A and B are shown apart, each in its own frame.
Chain A
């Protein structure tokens, strides 16, 4: 009797896990891509991201769960442009999941279909800093690129899971519409500050600045990936005074000491601007991220 019960439970368990497995498993490297994928997939696919929004996506501490997560993934969505080059390749190798190897239909590098800034012309050499030889990987911070990312995810999901293709395509339409409306709001909020000069810590905000007409005149880092040096900081202070720079924008994972000392000597204000969804629980999706960033930016530029 007991055995029969146990067997029934086992069969039931197998059935439910099978039903669960039928749902497409999508893993993204960053929370931003997860948020956009979630908009497209709704409840038709399970979405999770490897890096948390408060982590620097250039360097992520790998944990065993990442391997287990990747092992069962049907679709891996990456930012590309070498953003994840420091930690993803060994994880991918050790996950031993053939479905998500680069070049297969389970691997989607969304940088292929977006507008990339700062693509270096000519040869890149090491004296230029941690320059991404393929262009600026922080392209997701432009809503136009978010739409391009969403379209690529929708197409790939439809291809891997044709039974839900109609759902994905209608959800894409819905997301585009909401994002468009939100973008009109953000553009209007930032319109009075068109041409405003700011300094950023890392070159994370090129796409955002271009979209809303913000003028990035300098960086706290002397070269991308290199910590601030005294002479560079001195020149930056001079430049900020000359150009009357109002704000220093810093990603949450960088040290605030140098930005604060620079700001205190120039009358600018330091603002921690979030480059990723999930940097705090309040910015839980792509639109909320921009809502927060835009309203905070307006406060310091005023």
Chain B
């Protein structure tokens, strides 16, 4: 059936997103910085808007480097503000503030550099339905590089995410590695948001990781559960969207919600201690 050929590209995109985000999600949940991806995506969008104001085209290389520059600045900020011992300001507060201010700053910039409304929406509302093979392949290559980098230094990245104090004591420069983490994370999120939109990327990041925590504590098993769930939900969501003719991204997000609810219900009803070490 040639309907299949229309499903296959969004599905491939869904698999790639699952691959990197279910992994990064484990870190994000461990660190308790749930909304960091929204915040970094918004900073990247602000960077593009500023580039646009300065007269660079939205899809130009210069525009891309502006957004990358802003993302790196955001990464540095998050690396520096991890936990403040004296004031006990939670990092999630900083993340929220950065989100609100950069979203508002983008609105201000837009009101001066219009056509803006549509284009800025473009940046944050990627559309997984109309993604092309070229984009999928480009994204896959980028994520493979980021993935390899994380795999090579997996022990360090895990150490700073799970127990920064122990890592510090073991002689790891936590601020520097935090910066590397947020930089690679920002790189991924910015590309993901452009092809799938903020809502969907957030779901790929957080839901598989949370769903896995219902059943297991081991990082390896959490990854396995997360990847399986992400792949299944992508397939079901895309099929539903075609079957019922609904906007594809939003359908996948709701499928994630339904799947998580089902898994949680199963966990409660089955009653036994399900946590697998």
* Chain A contact residues, CB within 8 Å of chain B: 58-59, 61-65, 67-68, 71, 86, 90-91, 93-94, 96, 126-131, 223-227, 229
The answer for the CA separation of A225 and B115 in the assembled complex, in Å, is 6
Residues A130 and B113 in contact, CB atoms below 8 Å apart? no
Residues A67 and B6 in contact, CB atoms below 8 Å apart? yes
With A62-B247, A127-B112: A225-B132 Cβ-Cβ less than 8 Å: no
Residues in B with CB closer than 8 Å to A229 are 111
**Which listed residue, B114, B130, B132, B246, touches A223 by the CB 8 Å rule?**
B114
Residues in A with CB closer than 8 Å to B53 are 126
Total interface residues in chain B, CB < 8 Å: 29
Q: With both chains docked as a complex, state the minimum distance between the C-beta of A192 and any C-beta of chain B, in angstroms.
A: 37
Residues B130 and A94 in contact, CB atoms below 8 Å apart? yes
Residues in B with CB closer than 8 Å to A63 are 129, 241, 245-248
Q: With both chains docked as a complex, state the minimum distance between the C-beta of A27 and any C-beta of chain B, in angstroms.
A: 15
With A93-B132, A94-B9: A62-B118 Cβ-Cβ less than 8 Å: no
Nearest 10 Cβ contacts at the A-B interface = A90-B130, A65-B245, A129-B114, A130-B115, A64-B242, A126-B113, A94-B130, A86-B118, A226-B114, A130-B114
The answer for the CA separation of A227 and B122 in the assembled complex, in Å, is 17
Residues in A with CB closer than 8 Å to B113 are 126-127
Given A62-B130, A68-B6, A130-B117, 15 additional A-B pairs, CB 8 A: A62-B129, A64-B129, A64-B245, A68-B3, A90-B127, A90-B132, A93-B132, A94-B131, A126-B53, A131-B115, A225-B115, A225-B116, A226-B111, A226-B117, A227-B117
Residues in B with CB closer than 8 Å to A86 are 118, 122
Q: Does B66 contact A (CB under 8 A)?
A: no
Q: Secondary structure at chain B's binding surface: helix, strand, loop or mixed? A: helix
Closest to A59 in B: B118
Residues in A with CB closer than 8 Å to B110 are 226
Residues A126 and B121 in contact, CB atoms below 8 Å apart? no
Q: Does B52 contact A (CB under 8 A)?
A: yes
Residues in B with CB closer than 8 Å to A59 are 118, 121
Residues in A with CB closer than 8 Å to B9 are 94
| Chain B 114-154 near chain A by CB (<8 Å), digits 1 or 0 | 11111001100001011110000000000000000000000
The answer for the CA separation of A69 and B53 in the assembled complex, in Å, is 38
Residues A67 and B129 in contact, CB atoms below 8 Å apart? yes
With A64-B6, A126-B52: A94-B129 Cβ-Cβ less than 8 Å: yes
* Chain B contact residues, CB within 8 Å of chain A: 3, 5-6, 9, 52-53, 55, 110-118, 121-122, 127, 129-132, 241-242, 245-248
The answer for the CA separation of A62 and B118 in the assembled complex, in Å, is 14
The answer for the CA separation of A226 and B116 in the assembled complex, in Å, is 8
Task: Give 6 CB contacts A-B under 8 Å.
Answer: A67-B130, A90-B132, A91-B130, A94-B132, A224-B114, A225-B118
Residues in B with CB closer than 8 Å to A224 are 114
Q: With both chains docked as a complex, state the minimum distance between the C-beta of A211 and any C-beta of chain B, in angstroms.
A: 28
With A90-B127, A94-B132, A126-B113: A64-B248 Cβ-Cβ less than 8 Å: yes
Residue among B110, B114, B117, B118 with the highest chain A CB neighbour number at 10 A: B114
**Which listed residue, B3, B114, B118, B132, touches A58 by the CB 8 Å rule?**
B118
The answer for the CA separation of A63 and B115 in the assembled complex, in Å, is 24
Residues in A with CB closer than 8 Å to B247 are 61-63
The answer for the CA separation of A63 and B127 in the assembled complex, in Å, is 10
Q: With both chains docked as a complex, state the minimum distance between the C-beta of B131 and any C-beta of chain A, in angstroms.
A: 8
The answer for the CA separation of A68 and B112 in the assembled complex, in Å, is 39
Closest to B3 in A: A68
The answer for the CA separation of A67 and B6 in the assembled complex, in Å, is 8
Residues A225 and B127 in contact, CB atoms below 8 Å apart? no
Residues in A with CB closer than 8 Å to B121 are 59
